[in-house]
Amino acid sequence: MNTFVSEVKNIDVKLHVPRSHSHRKYQLVELSNGLRTFLINDRSSDLFSAAMIVGSGSANDPDESLGLAHLCEHMLFLGTRTYPIPNHLNQIVSSAGGFTNAYTTMEHTCYHFELSSFAKSTDETVFIIDQVLDIFSSFFKCPSFKEKYIKGEINAVEEEHRGNTEDMNRIIFHALRLLASPNHAFHRFGTGNKDTLSALGTKTLQRYLRAYFQRFYTTRKMVLVLKGPQSINHLKKLLVAHFSDLVITSLDHWRGSNSSFVSDHDIYFSPQLYGYSDTPLFSPTTKAIFLKVPKDTLLRLCYPSKHIFDTAGIGRLKSLICNLIGDESMNTVCDYLKRKKGWATDIMVFCQNTFMNDDVLVVDIGLTPLGLKNLPQVIDTLHYFVNYTVVRANIFDLEKVASDLLDLEETLFLQRNVEACFVDEICDYGEKIEKGDLALPDIVRGYGDLLEDGSRLKTVQQLRKAFIECFTEENVRIIVAHKDLTPLNHFKINMEDYEIATDSYYQYEFVKITESTPMTFINLDLDLGLELPTISSNLKESVENSRKKGNSNDPDDNDDVGFVRGMRAKENHPCLVWFDEAAEIWQIDPDGEDQESIYITVTFHLREIEKSPENIVGIELVAEIVGEELRYKLYHYELLGHTWGFFVNVTGEPSILVSVSGPKSSSVTLLQIILDQLRMRIGCKEKIAYQQFKRARVNTRKRIEETQSATGLRKVFSAAYLIIEKDLITPNQKLEALELYDTDSLTTLSEQLLRLKPFTQLLFEGDIDDEERTKIIDAVSLGKNQVASYNVLAKQSHASSYFLPDGRNLMFSSQGGTDDTANTVFYYLQLGPRNDLEVYAWGRLFEHYLSHTALNELRTKRRLAYMAFTGMKFFRQSFGIHITIPSGEFDCHRLADEIEGYLWRLEQNLNQLTEERFKSEILEPFIQALDQNANHINTPSGLFSTLQPVQGSGDKPETAEFMAHWSRVDQIINGTYRFGGTVCEEPVNKNFLQNLSLETFLQYVRTFISVKSPQRSCLIVANAAGTQSYEACKSQFATIIHRQLREGDVNITHTKVTSLLEACRDQEGFTDLPVLLKEYIKESKQNSKLVKLAFKRFATSIVRGATSKISARPIARFDTHPISNKTEFTNYKDIQNLCYVGKRICWHDKILSLESIAQG
């Protein structure tokens, strides 16, 4: 086994766990290769369980090979390059008394095994766990995909599918697929069978398997779960030993081998995974499906809920709905249908996940013969219960019932027994982590908290709203399974309009019904005597006692209350300890908490170093060299959980920032080592070794070139900083300076650094005593610096920003390189200086509203792109709101115009609001989100928040505790000292918001947002997709043409389509392709009727659609709206010439601010 150094990053999470798990310890970690792993130490069992969840499933199957993901799952067990024996893992594990298995869903593929930790290994030189994990990990490193095994596994998949055709749950689930929109990913058959997997032949299928693995088996899409009696540290060692050499992408692994697999990486896979969200789960016209199956009669009512549950606590709301409908106590709807009417044998209510976030609330009703005869009444009874018993209930009665049900759910969780099957448990955890739609603290619990303000009355209001919108005749989709199709007689349809079809996979007959409703027999004015569920007083007393028991324990006492201990984000603000012209010291007291970790950040502002490309690059080289020297010294500190890093030139001015965090027992020592090494390197009179200097220069060049060659979002964000921030050193300037830099230059700079008098800023947080504080101050040499002369200080000031002129819409256009596959637009509306906290509070509120409407409007309605980003954007002195869209279809001017159309429509909608609606729908939800410290950030808000160390233990930590610390550092460095914001933003003035009226809100909209505003200041950064990717576009065009022709039953290969494109005289629009295609079809003597139909379809739509992707021709606007008069530039300095520069903050002004803070 190879030995290597690996970095494990802890992700601190405070988990909700039941009492039965109090003996366990949990830790979520991430390897440097991106592999997330959930570690569980369970001393109660000797069983060791492991599961690898891959975030790819049947949704990624290519159209020509449905079931490929499932087949890949089977093939991984049949040998790897390091363990070529088929089923070797199963042999070892089963011989030790354990078992292995795997499964594939639409979104995930999961592999797992379980065995005793004390089982004997077949190899006496290693422990059984090491032996098994080495085999298991090879699945994801070097599977062999031998052709000779493919046919046999196709047969195995076929057998598995045949078994599914006998399973009623599978049958009904497949019927739900048939109801789905044809273009939706969920509509596709996922299991695979002999027909779907044999069409390509084993040789081709082998290529597809390799390509699928290369494309989708990446560590960024994998989650590993390890559970056993081993300690967390031991589990980490197992993780590092067997999985740290997993490559970030499987493609990288193949490139590192002598295999020819790389050529298969470009095999076309299904696009549904990426475009499904533009298609509703169900077609608006498809209402029901009737199945002819020799099984018990079943009615399934399906209520798509993706568009309904868009609030916090959606898991609890869905749970409440299921409990309210599924409750079988006296006088409930279940009691009425089963006991009183005898229409149902059983009723089950649950939430069915179809694909990604397209959840469906399902009510399954086993019908009696009498119930089948009264099928419409069964449906009407359910809707009656919802609309009359639930929705019209007294709000306080409904709150009481909901509270009882929630208390019961929480109690059941606290009393949950240890899971009988550990592998099922850990697979469930892994899927939740990989999918990411459940907050990390809720991984074990399985559901989230209530609404952010914790108000159960508010929850009930949301619950009522969800009931009203969800349980309607328009929203419901109906599945009826019966031995024949006679239930069709209960629907108002003309049977002559429908044909009986046979499903090609499950082989049952079915009929789809569109635009029809069931006959209604219930008079909704009647009182059916239905009541809300009632929980008995004895049960409620038991629940209350259990909850008291759970809340009476000390949460720090071995986690007995059911929580894993984790640090809480600190809400108190830094206190100014000391300041003068040379330094300022800030500290956050622990507030009585015994905190295990501390955070220390010190910034040295090199005031006497001239800001030049040479010096900026030289400082970066110094940090690179010192950091490299420290990495070897600090390795064991990193293993102890410490993080550290060097950041340079953080405000664009010469500076060095050092940040340290970790256990308080050794963090101060760590800081001392780092700063001593920095002083040693600066004070060293000998030239640095050339090879060390060369490595530093190579690494520095790589970072600069990565910035220079940025694409998409990163490129437009970088361009915005370059335009707005004054005197930024450009990547080109840095590269030119780096080329001229040598060891003599570095020695000269070091001598300057040794003599200078930096201004030092220090912030430390945590349980730090007086002795440790003294050590920190001594380490950073505070108090030892000579005060700079008045003349020096007078010349020093903070860097400033450009402010956009009022009433101008300035557009900076650039042409992307070959790697730029999308047209990207950064649409920025300047709001004002950062110290205008009232405008900022309004801006946050408006951006919050944007974030809830932009995706639906820009992506779903206008179909501009798959993603649209909104957020605040901060510069040194100014701030604003941005909307950013990367689009592969529309050009930049069209994207900018459509954004303005969106803003215009938004303004019109806001003008229709009443004061009451404004407060209830916009203002109050936002204030509640602020109270919960909700993270509203969609994209990085400012340059400081995106900074990464040039050297250190890795990327800066992303934990809430560290980011809160980082935000405070940002305020200190900028000299604004407005603490309390999140993720490097300003704090929100809630007093201003609480008194904000609709009219004032709209006045801000008309001033800063409205396209017609004469005061609006707008910057549009537009980066067009690369023009040199013509061959790639043409290849994509060929794929589109080929697929459409195949769907029209035209027999043609992809190669032939490509050759016809090559033969076209018009190589831009391919306008002569239809003529060449018609000649080919005629020569190949294909069915003239089918060909004519397909060709007509092709000629009228496909050419136009596909060529538009190549020629980027403009398309008509989505709607009619005013657009701004934009002035376009290609030189950013021309824009700067139109702007004015913000007032600089000199060092004396800074001292005055500190004096004011010190005086209270």
pLDDT per residue over 1062-1087, tens digit each?
888 877 677 778 888 878 877 776 65
**Is the pLDDT assigned to residue 365 strictly greater than 80?**
yes
Distance CA 576, CA 641 (A): 28
- Residue indicated by tokens 């520069």: 1141
Q: Are 803 and 1141 in contact (CB under 8 A)?
A: yes
The first and second tokens of residue 878, run together, are: 């100014």
Computed over every residue of the chain, the mean pLDDT equals: 82
pTM reported for the whole predicted model: 0.54
CA distances from 56 to 77, 80, 182 (A): 17, 20, 21
Residue pair 576/625 in contact (Cβ under 8 Å)? The answer is no
- Asked whether the beta carbons of 1132 and 812 are under 8 A apart, the reply is yes
Cα–Cα distance for residue pair 655/601, rounded to 1 Å: 13
Q: What is the dihedral of CA 214, 246, 109, 358, to 10 degrees?
A: -80
Rounded percentage of the chain residues whose pLDDT exceeds 90: 43
Q: In 564-595, which positions are buried (b, 16+ CB within 10 angstroms) versus exposed (e)?
A: beebeebeeebeeeebebbbbbbbbeeeeeeb
| CATH superfamily of the 575-710+724-756+765-786 domain | Metalloenzyme, LuxS/M16 peptidase-like (3.30.830.10)
Taking a C-beta distance cutoff of 8 angstroms, is the pair 585, 576 a contact? yes
Alpha carbons 188 and 837: distance in angstroms, whole number:
52
Instruction: Report residue 381 as tokens.
Output: 């009874």
Q: Is the pLDDT of residue 5 over 50?
A: no
Q: What are phi and psi of 350, to 5 degrees?
A: -155, 170
pLDDT band at residue 797 using 50, 70 and 90 as cut-offs: low
pLDDT classification of 888: cutoffs 50, 70, 90? low
Q: Which residue has the tokens 């904000």?
A: 996
Residue 717 has pLDDT above 50, yes or no: yes
CA atoms within 13 A on the CB side of 1033: 25
Residue 223 has pLDDT above 90, yes or no: yes
Min mean pLDDT across 254-268, 465-479, 824-838 is at 254-268
In the chain, the largest separation of any two C-alpha atoms, in whole Å, equals 97
Q: Where does residue 847 rank: exposed (0-12), middle (13-18), buried (19+ CB within 10 A)?
A: buried
Q: State yes or no: pLDDT of 585 exceeds 80.
A: yes
**Rounded distance, CA 92 to CA 41, Å?**
23
Reduce the DSSP state of residue 647 to 3 states and report it. strand
pLDDT in tens, 595-619: 567 999 999 999 888 899 999 999 9
Right CATH for 802-941+985-1020 from 3.40.250.10, 3.30.830.10, 1.10.1740.10, 3.30.2350.10 = 3.30.830.10
- Among 67, 66, 63, 115, residue whose Cα is nearest residue 94: 115
Give the pLDDT band of residue 272 (cuts 50, 70, 90): very low
Minimum mean pLDDT range among 521-535, 791-805, 968-982, 1062-1076: 791-805
680 within 8 A of 984, measured Cβ to Cβ: no
Q: What is the 3-state secondary structure (H, E, C) of 653-718?
A: CCEEEEEEEEEHHHHHHHHHHHHHHHHHHHHCCCCCCHHHHHHHHHHHHHHHHHHHCCCHHHHHHH
**Helix, strand, coil percent values for the chain (each to nearest 5):** 45, 20, 35
Mean pLDDT in residue range 1014-1018: 95
DSSP bridge pairs for 358: 355
Is residue 690 packed enough to be buried (19+ CB in 10 Å), middle (13-18) or exposed (0-12)?
exposed
For the domain made up of 280-412+437-529, give the CATH fold. Cytochrome Bc1 Complex; Chain A, domain 1 (3.30.830)
630-669 pLDDT per residue, tens = 877 786 677 566 899 999 999 888 999 999 998 777 788 8
Beta strand 809-815 with 1126-1129 is parallel
Secondary structure of 251-288 in HEC code, one letter for each residue = HHHHHCCCCCHHHHCCCCCCCHHHHHHHCCCECCCEEE
Provide the pLDDT for residue 639. 59
Average pLDDT over residues 352-361: 88
Model pLDDT, residue 218: 93
- Does the pLDDT value for residue 559 go beyond 50? no
Do 971 and 987 touch, CB atoms closer than 8 A? no
Q: Which residue has the higher pLDDT, 592 or 675?
A: 675
DSSP H or E segment with residue 586: strand 583-588
> Does position 358 have pLDDT exceeding 70, yes or no?
yes
How far apart, in Å, are the Cα atoms of 1141 and each of 729, 801, 876, 997?
Answer: 17, 6, 11, 33
* Residues 735 and 613: beta-carbon distance below 8 Å: no
- Top pLDDT among 1052 and 512 is at 512
User: Is the pLDDT confidence value at 706 over 70?
Assistant: yes
Closest to 418 (Cα-Cα) out of 117, 45, 38, 16: 45
Instruction: Compute how many other C-beta atoms are within 10 angstroms of the C-beta atom of residue 289.
Output: 20
Quick one: pLDDT at residue 541? 63
For residue 872, what are the β-bridge partners? Answer: 881
For 1088, counting Cβ atoms within 10 Å of its Cβ (0-12 exposed, 13-18 middle, 19+ buried), the class is: exposed
| Separation of CA 519 from chain center | 44
Q: Predicted confidence band at 552 (pLDDT cuts at 50, 70, 90)?
A: very low
Distances (CA, A) of 186 to 221, 272, 309, 508, 866: 20, 9, 20, 19, 18
Radius of gyration of the chain (CA): 32
d(CA 854, CA 912): 18
- β-pairing, 344-355 vs 298-304, is unpaired
pLDDT at 542: 54
Give the pLDDT confidence score for residue 267 in this predicted structure: 60
Average pLDDT over residues 844-869: 76
State the pLDDT at residue 139.
96
Encoded tokens for 1113: 């021709």
Confidence (pLDDT) at 3? 42
Nearest to 675 by CA among 634, 717, 620, 641: 634
| Lowest mean pLDDT, pick from 492-501, 757-766, 1069-1078, 1110-1119 | 1110-1119
Residue 1112 has pLDDT above 50, yes or no: no
- C-alpha count within 13 angstroms, C-beta hemisphere, residue 1049: 8
Residue pair 92/77 in contact (Cβ under 8 Å)? The answer is no
Return the ∠ at Cα 393 (arms to 389 and 395), rounded to 5°: 150
CATH architecture of the domain formed by 8-274 = 2-Layer Sandwich (3.30)
Residue 166 in tokens: 């006998």
Name the band, by pLDDT with cuts 50, 70 and 90, for residue 1105. Answer: very low
pLDDT band per the 50, 70, 90 thresholds, residue 274: very low
The Cα–Cα gap between 1033 and 729 comes to 36
pLDDT in tens, 47-56: 899 999 999 9
The token pair that represents 868 in the structure block: 């649209």
User: What tokens appear for 454 in the block?
Assistant: 């914790």
Q: How many CB atoms lie within 10 A of CB 608?
A: 17
Q: pLDDT tens for residues 113-170?
A: 998 888 777 677 788 899 999 999 999 999 999 999 998 889 888 878 887 888 889 9
3-state secondary structure of 971: helix
Helix, strand, or coil here: 384?
helix
CA angle 180, 181, 182 (to 5 degrees): 110
| pLDDT tens per residue, range 23-41 | 899 999 999 999 999 999 9
pLDDT of residue 1042: 66
pLDDT on residue 1048: 61
